[in-house]
Structure 1
Amino acid sequence: MSSIVGLIPVLAIVTIQLLLLGSVSSLNVTNEYLHHQCINSQGKYKKGSPFENNLNSLLRSLPTTGNLRTGFHDTSNGEGPNEVYLRRRCPGNKGAIIWYDQCLLRISTIHGYGKVDYDHKFYLSNPNKVSGNPLSFNKETSAFLEKLTYKASDTKNVDNLSMVLYAAGEKKLGTKNLYAMVQCTKDLAFNSCLACLKWILREFPKCCDGKSGGRVLSTSCNFRYELYPFLRT
């Protein structure tokens, strides 16, 4: 949905993207808040402005998880140079991101559909450390996440001709089971998904060194691993 130029600047284009697990969801049915970022570089809008009116209208029409079958939604409302794409918890910000356990919502003045967002990410880690050899655990966990990365971004990974861009699995580590998943937003191509997942996997040493669980989330892709089941099919 590209910007429309040459029109009277009275309306805003708003794009909202949601990333859900589709047929797979978290065992955490409360979908708790995880993190948010206000994108101050994209400026503010005034109360009662056309931008705010279009944004509020679009947020009210946001699809529910019940009818969001593909796990991804991108929509717009309005036209003109006041382009926008997610927002919440950042009053007046034209750009914002909010992550929940099972979804993310993004508004931006930059149309990022089909492009990897390399500017916004964060990570969470399990406070518990692994028992035994942490170096060996790190190596095996990283290798398993990399294996899932290539599976998720494989051109053969389709469902009814639709790209899945998702993979999950479990692996035996000694007496324990390792559970992991990787995922990209469905606007990405296979090669873009692979690039995004490789990018966030480089954060593994920062988030997850010797930790029994961890996850890195951007607006374009994410990964998670734990020593307990955290997904519900």
Structure 2
Amino acid sequence: MGSVLAAAVAQAPAPAPVDNVLRPTAPSCSTTGNYTAGDQYQKNLADLLATMPAAATNNSWFYTGSAGSGADQVFGLIMCFADRNATQCQDCLTRGPASIASSVCPGSRRVDAAYDACVLRYADAPVSGEADDDVAFYVYEATGADVDDPVALDVARSDLMDELARAAAVADMRIANGSAPCAGAAEDVYGMAQCTRDMAPEQCATCLEGYVEKIREVFGDWTGGAIKGYSCYVRYRIGAFDVTLPPAPATPPPAAATPPPAPATPPSSPPPAAATPPPAPATPPSSPPPAAATPPTSPSSPPPATATPPPAPATPPSSPPPAAATPPPAPSTPPTPSSPPPAAATPPPTSPPPAAATPPPAPATPPAPPATQPSSPPPVPVTQPPSSPPTPAAELPSPPPCP
């Protein structure tokens, strides 16, 4: 179909229609398996076409989607050409879908329509990601520029368009434009290459390279020309022309609004964490008191231990000379397990009183400690609590009978 159409247009170049939005140039409309009025396919198609204008506007002038399910599901695609301005693009996005099914291709289940400012496709099978390298139409443009060397034009044009085809294939928007000097021409040669954004880089490159090859065959020494298809588009001319890049998608802002809720969650969790520490500090204060209570107990136990030695020195008060002799037996007493039991038995009844009672005799024996160095440690701790009353001194006579 493409080659036949190309020949026809080449033989008789004609100006574009007055309203080339409502009437696309040479649309491709299927003629078999058409839908009938009122069936589910028509309803799904109407739903899809109704969503296309807004969806494409919010997505940088490009949209691909579907409506319905099963055998009646409809798939569609629409995109603006980059050499048209925003007003022309929006007009095509709005009026193209509104008239295609009713007046251009009524009843067709598959339609490919290339307008002056946009391309529109829909079918009962996926159209996204499938390259269609068929040529919709050729555009011959007489710029009025004088070219002294047609060969130089061909070289400059081919080199430029080859470069743009490679660049567009890997660009995010699948668009590339630029210019190059042309020997023998007063102005540079400008060019543009574009693919629908659903195409993979390899598919886009293949489609554009095929179109670039056609430029030399079809346009010869024409100073301007374009090849429009349903998946790719190339254009060149001596002298500049406008290229309008699609605006950024309108969808990112909502995505950016999502993060704020996330930060809101962390502030709530820290308070509970901070609430937990207070109980922890409350526990330490309670534990120290018990610890402080323990020390008093430990001092009380030493007195009973020191209380055992005093009974031995208690003998000296009655007879100082024997006191010196007594120390030797004292070392022998520790080995015998019999003497400690009595001493330990004495403290239980009234451990505090005996402890306090023993100290008084200690002050009376200061002269003896120098004579017996080993036994001096016990008297020293006894000397520190000299606050005991003399009353217990009356009980001292009882110890002598023990030995």
Query: What's the C-alpha RMSD, in Å, of the aligned pairs?
Result: 2.6
Cα distance in 2, alignment partners of residues 113 and 39 from structure 1: 18
In the alignment, does 2:142 pair up with 1:133?
Answer: no
Q: Does the CA-based 8 Å contact 1:149-1:194 persist in structure 2? A: yes
Q: Which residue of 2 aligns with 1:143?
A: 159
Percent of residue pairs identical: 25
Structure 2 unaligned residues grouped into runs of 5+: 1-17, 77-96, 245-403
Greater relative contact order (Cα 8 A, min sep 6): structure 1 or 2?
1
Residues 151 and 66 (structure 1 numbering): CA distance in 2 closer, same or farther, change over 3 Å?
Answer: closer
| Alpha-carbon offset, residue 202 of structure 1 | 2.2
In the alignment, does 2:59 pair up with 1:69?
Answer: yes
**Corresponding residue to 2:180 among 171, 178, 185:** 171
Structure 1 unaligned residues grouped into runs of 5+: 1-29, 158-162
Q: Does the CA-based 8 Å contact 2:189-2:236 persist in structure 1? A: yes
The SS at the match of 2:157 is: helix
In the alignment, does 2:124 pair up with 1:109?
Answer: yes
Report matched runs for 1:69-88 at 5 Å: 69-85=59-75, 88=100
User: 1:36 is matched by which residue type in structure 2?
Assistant: A
Q: Does the CA-based 8 Å contact 2:190-2:237 persist in structure 1? A: yes
User: 1:97 is matched by which residue type in structure 2?
Assistant: D
Residues 108 and 150 (structure 1 numbering): CA distance in 2 closer, same or farther, change over 3 Å?
Answer: same
TM-score when scaled to structure 2? 0.45
User: 2:57 is matched by which residue type in structure 1?
Assistant: N
Q: Which residue of 2 aligns with 1:193?
A: 204
Determine which structure has the larger helix proportion and give its number: 2
TM-score when scaled to structure 1? 0.74
Q: Which residue of 2 aligns with 1:6?
A: none
User: 1:84 is matched by which residue type in structure 2?
Assistant: V
Q: Which residue of 1 aligns with 2:337?
A: none
| Equivalent pairs, count | 197
Q: Does the CA-based 8 Å contact 1:96-1:108 persist in structure 2? A: yes
- Offset from partner CA, 1:170-223 (integer Å, 9 cap, x none): 222242121211011111111111111112222213432111111111111111
Q: Which residue of 1 aligns with 2:223?
A: 212
| Alpha-carbon offset, residue 135 of structure 1 | 2.8
| Alpha-carbon offset, residue 72 of structure 1 | 1.7
Cα distance in 2, alignment partners of residues 49 and 120 from structure 1: 32
Q: Does the CA-based 8 Å contact 1:180-1:226 persist in structure 2? A: yes
In the alignment, does 2:145 pair up with 1:121?
Answer: no
**Corresponding residue to 2:29 among 18, 34, 39:** 39
The SS at the match of 1:118 is: coil
Residues 142 and 42 (structure 1 numbering): CA distance in 2 closer, same or farther, change over 3 Å?
Answer: farther
Residues 112 and 176 (structure 1 numbering): CA distance in 2 closer, same or farther, change over 3 Å?
Answer: same
